[in-house]
Structure 1
Amino acid sequence: MPRRRIGFWYRFAAVICKPPLVVLLKRDWRGMEHIPAEGGFITVVNHNSHVDPFAYAHFQYNTGRVPRFLAKSGLFKKGFVGAAMRGTGQIPVYRESTDALSAFRAAIDAVERGECVAFYPEGTLTRDPDGWPMTGKTGAARVALRTKCPVIPVAQWGCNELLPPYAKKPNLFPRKTSRVLAGPPVDLSRFYDKDMTADVLREATEVIMAAITRQLEEIRGEKAPETPYDPKRERVEQRRRTQAQARAQARAQQVQGQRTEGQGK
Structure 2
Amino acid sequence: MSRFVLMKVLIGPLLKLFFRPRVEGLERVPESGPVILAGNHLTFIDSIILPLISKRQVFFIGKNEYVKGTSLKGRLMALFFTSVGMIPVDRDGGHGGVAALMTGRRVLEEGKVFGIYPEGTRSPDGRLYRGRTGIARLTLMTGAPVVPFAMIGTDRVQPGGRGLPRVGRGRQITVRFGAPLDFSRYEGMDRDRYVLRAVTDEVMTEVMRLSGQEYVDMYATKVKAA
- After TM superposition, the score normalised by the length of structure 1 is 0.70
Pair 1:45 & 2:39 matched: yes
Pair 1:185 & 2:176 matched: no
Within-5 A mapping of 1:160-199: 160-166=155-161, 168=163, 170-174=165-169, 176-199=171-194
Provide the secondary structure at the position in 2 that maps to 1:181.
Answer: strand
Given the alignment, which residue of 112, 132, 149 partners 2:109?
Answer: 112
2:53 equivalent in structure 1: 59
For the Cα contact (< 8 Å) 1:49–1:165, is it kept in 2?
yes
Question: How big is each residue's C-alpha offset from its partner over 1:44-80, in whole Å with a ceiling of 9 and x where there is no partner?
Answer: 02111222222222221xxx21211112456567974
Q: Which residue identity does 2:28 align to in structure 1?
A: H
Q: Rate the CA distance shift 1:162–1:90 in 2: closer, same or farther, 3 A.
A: closer
- CA shift at 1:103, angstroms? 4.1
Gaps of 5+ in 1: 1-6, 218-223, 239-265
Pair 1:11 & 2:40 matched: no
Gaps of 5+ in 2: none
Given the alignment, which residue of 81, 85, 90 partners 2:86?
Answer: 90
Greater RCO (CA < 8 Å, at least 6 residues apart) = 2
Distance in 2 (CA, whole Å) between partners of 1:40 and 1:109 is 10
Q: Which residue identity does 1:93 align to in structure 2?
A: V
1:153 equivalent in structure 2: 148
Provide the secondary structure at the position in 2 that maps to 1:165.
Answer: helix
1:231 equivalent in structure 2: 220
Q: Which residue identity does 2:11 align to in structure 1?
A: C
RMSD, aligned α-carbons: 3.0
Provide the secondary structure at the position in 2 that maps to 1:176.
Answer: coil
Distance in 1 (CA, whole Å) between partners of 2:88 and 2:27 is 29
Q: Percent identity?
A: 25
Q: Which residue identity does 1:70 align to in structure 2?
A: I
1:68 equivalent in structure 2: 59
Given the alignment, which residue of 14, 31, 41 partners 2:25?
Answer: 31
Deviates more, 1:22-31 or 1:10-19: 10-19
Q: Rate the CA distance shift 1:15–1:132 in 2: closer, same or farther, 3 A.
A: same
Within-5 A mapping of 1:99-138: 100-101=97-98, 103-127=100-124, 129=125, 131-138=126-133
- CA shift at 1:122, angstroms? 1.4
Pair 1:21 & 2:12 matched: no
- CA shift at 1:29, angstroms? 1.2
For the Cα contact (< 8 Å) 1:125–1:165, is it kept in 2?
no
1:251 equivalent in structure 2: none
Q: Rate the CA distance shift 1:71–1:169 in 2: closer, same or farther, 3 A.
A: closer
1:206 equivalent in structure 2: 201
- CA shift at 1:92, angstroms? 3.8
How many residues matched?
Answer: 220
Provide the secondary structure at the position in 1 that maps to 2:139.
Answer: helix
Q: Rate the CA distance shift 1:199–1:167 in 2: closer, same or farther, 3 A.
A: same
Distance in 2 (CA, whole Å) between partners of 1:89 and 1:110 is 11
- After TM superposition, the score normalised by the length of structure 2 is 0.80
